[in-house]
Structure 1
Amino acid sequence: MGKLRSKNMNYKGLVIHCQQNGGLICLTDMWKAAGSVKSQELDKWLIQKRICERLLELVLEAKLELKPVVERTFAEQPVANSGSKKYRAWASQVRKLAKDVGLISTRGGIGGGTYAIDKIAIEYAESLSTEFRDWARNAVKERIEEEVDPELGIRRSRQRAIKNWEKQGKSSQYIGARLNSIPKEDFYEAALYEHGVKVPNDFAWCKAEVYKPIIGRTKDFREARGLKKGQNCKDAMTMEELAATDFAKVLSAKRINTLNPYGADICARISHHAGKEVAHLLNQ
């Protein structure tokens, strides 16, 4: 299988991570994106009586066979007092039930935090800032639609990209070249993924090795062309550089698929060698 494209959402440049397996949305990222207001912290929200009851309803929707457990948990609900040890223990029990059926999960590392299904994510967004809430409603709705019809997501992404390039004053010729570049990038990334390149840093390393003989070190290129943090190197490439790096990626992918290496180290070396060959052709 090829590298899975990220399904993360973006709010004003801040990433809201989404799990590729299960489609859960990071509530921790939502809280940060909405301003990290202490009174709106996730733990304070999840312990509320209304939210605990809603979680139990969703547990029942997810697994009807848990009806006796859900009914018993409802019946055992103590007087709602978040400071009460007994109430907090009950709320933890509710959260565990939600985790057991896949409504909520936690993970560490990059993109770590508490994740939840879209219904819970939308409800949490309702408790955050008005601006963020309105954005989240639309973003999550679009995400659900795109899970049903993946092609819709591709069309929307393409339309957004074209609008952004037009705002940057890019020519129709340039925009066409960038759109044509996408399948070549996918072909290259799929080859890397199939041959042991699995993490973002290793993808970036291999790509930098393709670029190096053609545009130099990516760090130097970004500084020389005035690229801001988060901008793609392609945003500052000439038509010739775009064509050359695309060709180098396709050449790299074909060789990786033919030679069948495994791991980022050897894939990076193959990528660099392909970049050198293309750079040599340009300089003849």
Structure 2
Amino acid sequence: MIKKALPQTGNKNQALSFDGVDIREDHDNEMISLTDLWKAAGGDKNRAPAQWLKLPGTKAFIKALEKQIVKISHSLLKSRGRLGTFAHWQIALAYAKYLSPELHLHVNEVYMRYRTGDITLADEILEKASTENQEWLAQKALSTVHRNKLTGTLKKHGVHGPFNFAKCTNNTYRGLYNRTARQLKADKNLPAKVNLREHMDTDELITVGFTEMVTRKDIEKRDVQGNTPCANSCLKMAKKVSTML
């Protein structure tokens, strides 16, 4: 069974820091901690998130942003108790600008690099990470590579539509753990829309990545075609890998 991993708001994927303060991010929901930004800027009580959010200009900005981002399925602001206040990245950038020009420039540069897929950012993250987290990040990257390659193969071999791609993924998890992605998330008390792999440990990432690699090779070697045959291959190869665990 998959173990509970660090929450998304932990330091495993930490990329942002300023003046010695780590600024937590929730990549699943594209949110940044306003509380950490405030601490990084010196922690002036008069400029705390709660005070800034009351300003008429701030309220107007958030209202306009809500109208612009019509497809978002969650609130742009979230209070997480002792973890502090998290906000959509555009709100966080506006708050950083309010707090400090230097902080705004730093957060803007780092977060934009993340959103545009600047791979050199990964080296900077790895340099700051612990040995354990360096290993996790490396395996997460490899897992993503194997997943993308398998997805490409599935497309070439006649898999189409979100339902059928999800079926292939679920068959991989069923073969390995006898659980669907939804069930695995429930076991870990995770929201349904989060990326499950962000909450897997290193061994689990290796297992899933290896399974998707051998599944891809099986589909290509046997020239499997179609939604159901490809999904069956995912299940069959996952079961084979599970016997080695």
| SS at 1:228 equivalent | coil
The equivalent of 1:233 in structure 2 is 196
The equivalent of 1:209 in structure 2 is 171
CA distance in structure 1 between the partners assigned to 2:183 and 2:144 by the alignment: 24
CA 1:41/1:214 → structure 2, altered by over 3 Å: closer, same or farther? closer
- For 1:77-88, list aligned pairs within 5 A: none
| SS at 1:227 equivalent | coil
Q: CA deviation at 1:158?
A: 4.8
CA RMSD of aligned residues (A): 4.2
Q: CA deviation at 1:258?
A: 1.4
The equivalent of 2:213 in structure 1 is 250
> Are residues 1:193 and 2:224 paired?
no
Q: CA deviation at 1:250?
A: 0.6
Q: CA deviation at 1:178?
A: 0.8
CA distance in structure 1 between the partners assigned to 2:137 and 2:168 by the alignment: 25
Contact 1:214-1:241 at 8 Å conserved across structures: no
Contact 1:211-1:217 at 8 Å conserved across structures: yes
Contact 1:202-1:264 at 8 Å conserved across structures: yes
| SS at 2:66 equivalent | coil
Structure 2 letter corresponding to 1:261: V
The equivalent of 1:35 in structure 2 is 66
Q: CA deviation at 1:41?
A: 11
Structure 2 letter corresponding to 1:268: A
> Are residues 1:13 and 2:29 paired?
yes
The equivalent of 1:171 in structure 2 is 133
CA 1:229/1:158 → structure 2, altered by over 3 Å: closer, same or farther? farther
The one-character-per-residue Cα deviations of 1:19-64 (angstroms, maximum 9, x if unpaired) are xxxxxxxxxxxx998213xxx899xxxxxxxxxxxxxxxxxxxxxx
The equivalent of 1:272 in structure 2 is 235
The equivalent of 1:260 in structure 2 is 223
Contact 1:195-1:260 at 8 Å conserved across structures: yes
Contact 1:34-1:132 at 8 Å conserved across structures: no
| SS at 1:257 equivalent | helix
CA 1:246/1:133 → structure 2, altered by over 3 Å: closer, same or farther? closer
Structure 2 letter corresponding to 1:189: T
Contact 2:143-2:208 at 8 Å conserved across structures: no
CA 1:263/1:134 → structure 2, altered by over 3 Å: closer, same or farther? farther
CA distance in structure 2 between the partners assigned to 1:244 and 1:174 by the alignment: 13
Contact 2:158-2:227 at 8 Å conserved across structures: yes
1:155 to 113, 119, 131: 119
| SS at 2:194 equivalent | coil
CA 1:175/1:33 → structure 2, altered by over 3 Å: closer, same or farther? farther
User: Equivalent pairs: percent with the same residue?
Assistant: 21
CA distance in structure 2 between the partners assigned to 1:241 and 1:41 by the alignment: 35
Task: Mark the runs of 5 or more structure 2 residues left unpaired by the alignment.
Answer: 1-26, 31-61, 73-89, 96-107
CA distance in structure 2 between the partners assigned to 1:207 and 1:41 by the alignment: 29
Q: With a CA cutoff of 8 Å and minimum separation of 6, indicate the structure with the bigger relative contact order.
A: 2
CA distance in structure 2 between the partners assigned to 1:197 and 1:157 by the alignment: 34
The equivalent of 1:27 in structure 2 is none
CA distance in structure 2 between the partners assigned to 1:245 and 1:41 by the alignment: 34
Structure 2 letter corresponding to 1:199: G
Contact 1:184-1:249 at 8 Å conserved across structures: yes
CA distance in structure 2 between the partners assigned to 1:41 and 1:206 by the alignment: 31
